[in-house]
């Protein structure tokens, strides 16, 4: 019904299911309803390059010939995001501040060449059409090898280092874990005596474990209504995993800085009593690495306390147009 605001997350998931079922390359979901906006007062459309899908609303686009022109302009803008284009001063990728700025335009020559090149690559045979039987590792590895630059570009385009700023429960759980371990004597006795190899291994393991834990706990890989091998679905999962993994790594670096500051502020006499030795800079750094690692595990628990739609919005949305 054309009444009431709709959540773009639900519409994107609906579009992806339809895209995979019908074996489309891209999908636009158009609705007459307003869209729920998370980072602004309103949203005309929401593109997701990870899902290769976009949602657009006609609620504020007028009627008649004006509606048609604005729909075309908005659709081209959203498709440009799906194709990895950046905002530009001219053409469909001009930044928008309102529906009155929407007008059909041609892509500049450099963007047009980029789009043609991308669509030529997309039109190539997909992996599931090349062979019927695959192992999971082989299929995902071949998907990654087919276009690693495009997948990495999609991951970086999400600016995953900003993710902890928008996921309050996840970040709060991580920060509380760090503060608790900074003022716990038994933790100092353990963490400061770990070897460099141990703390670095635990740090890498914790980031990977937190990524997988949140990815599975929030059902981020459950897209579509089919279980057959799909290159598009494999690409989407790789982008989401990469974005979440870099987000966790960025949070770990922030927790490391917090741990170092906390360790440096605590009195040396107190630390010597807790650690059973005279603390050096090396001891403090090793303990900060250990504490940041514990914080990431706390973030994994906090991440699964986040509302499912909120964490999906941070991972799915390129922007709110």
- What backbone torsions phi and psi does residue 198 show, to the nearest 5 degrees? -65, -45
Which pLDDT band holds residue 306 (cuts at 50, 70, 90)?
low
- What backbone torsions phi and psi does residue 56 show, to the nearest 5 degrees? -135, 150
Report which of 151, 161, 318, 177 is spatially closest to residue 254, judged by C-alpha positions: 161
Q: Which domains does the chain have, with CATH numbers?
A: 8-122 (3.40.390.10), 136-316 (no CATH)
Structure tokens belonging to residue 217: 């706990």
Report which of 83, 29, 97 is spatially closest to residue 57, judged by C-alpha positions: 29
Provide the pLDDT for residue 305. Answer: 66
Report which of 85, 81, 60 is spatially closest to residue 71, judged by C-alpha positions: 60
- What backbone torsions phi and psi does residue 45 show, to the nearest 5 degrees? -160, 160
Report which of 150, 161, 147 is spatially closest to residue 248, judged by C-alpha positions: 161
Question: Which residues, 6 or more positions from 131, have their beta carbon under 8 angstroms from its beta carbon?
Answer: none
Structure tokens belonging to residue 14: 């609906």
Give the model confidence (pLDDT) of 122-164 as tens digits.
777 777 777 767 777 788 888 888 878 888 888 888 788 887 7
Give the model confidence (pLDDT) of 93-118 as tens digits.
888 888 888 888 889 999 999 889 88
SS3 107: coil
Instruction: Rounding to the nearest 10 degrees, give the CA dihedral for residues 115, 121, 122, 125.
Output: 160
Which pLDDT band holds residue 224 (cuts at 50, 70, 90)?
low
Tokens 């650690």, residue located: 275
CB 52 within 8 A of CB 84: no
Q: What are the percentages of helix, strand and coil residues in the chain, rounded to 5?
A: 65, 5, 30
Q: Full-prediction pTM beyond 0.85?
A: no
CB 239 within 8 A of CB 211: no
Give the model confidence (pLDDT) of 241-252 as tens digits.
888 889 888 888
Q: Is the pLDDT of residue 302 over 80?
A: no
Which pLDDT band holds residue 12 (cuts at 50, 70, 90)?
very high
Residue 321 CA to residue 96 CA, distance in Å, equals: 7
207 CA to centre of own chain: 15
| Cβ-based burial of 113 (10 A; exposed 0-12, middle 13-18, buried ≥19) | exposed
3-class secondary structure per residue, 238-266? HHHHHHHHHHHHHHHHHHHHHHHHHHHHC
Residue 183 CA to residue 122 CA, distance in Å, equals: 54
Tokens 């060449």, residue located: 113
Report which of 228, 212, 210, 39 is spatially closest to residue 126, judged by C-alpha positions: 228
């Amino acid at each position: 019904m054309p009444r009431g605001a709709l959540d773009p997350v639900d519409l994107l998931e609906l579009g992806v299911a339809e895209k995979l079922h019908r074996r489309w390359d891209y999908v636009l979901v158009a609705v007459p309803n307003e869209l729920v906006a998370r980072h602004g007062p309103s949203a005309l459309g929401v593109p997701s390059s990870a899902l290769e899908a976009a949602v657009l609303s006609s609620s504020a686009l007028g009627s008649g010939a004006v509606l048609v022109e604005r729909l075309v302009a908005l659709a081209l803008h959203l498709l440009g995001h799906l194709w990895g284009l950046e905002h530009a001063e001219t053409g469909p990728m001009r930044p928008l501040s309102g529906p009155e700025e929407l007008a059909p335009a041609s892509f500049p020559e450099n963007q047009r060449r980029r789009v043609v090149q991308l669509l030529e690559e997309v039109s190539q045979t997909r992996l599931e059409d090349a062979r019927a039987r695959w192992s999971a590792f082989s299929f995902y590895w071949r998907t990654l090898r087919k276009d690693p630059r495009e997948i990495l570009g999609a991951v970086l385009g999400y600016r995953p280092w900003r993710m902890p700023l928008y996921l309050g429960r996840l970040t709060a759980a991580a920060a509380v874990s760090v503060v608790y371990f900074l003022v716990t004597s038994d933790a100092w006795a353990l963490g400061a005596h770990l070897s460099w190899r141990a703390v670095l291994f635990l740090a890498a393991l914790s980031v990977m474990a937190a990524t997988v834990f949140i990815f599975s706990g929030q059902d981020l890989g459950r897209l579509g209504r089919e279980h057959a091998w799909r290159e598009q679905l494999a690409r989407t999962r790789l982008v989401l995993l990469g974005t979440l993994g870099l987000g966790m790594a960025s949070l770990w670096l922030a927790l490391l800085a917090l741990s170092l500051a906390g360790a440096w502020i605590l009195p040396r006499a107190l630390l010597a009593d807790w650690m059973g030795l005279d603390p050096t800079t090396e001891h403090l750094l090793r303990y900060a690495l250990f504490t940041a690692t514990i914080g990431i595990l706390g973030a994994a628990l906090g991440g699964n306390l986040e509302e499912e739609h909120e964490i999906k919005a941070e991972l799915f949305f390129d922007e709110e147009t």
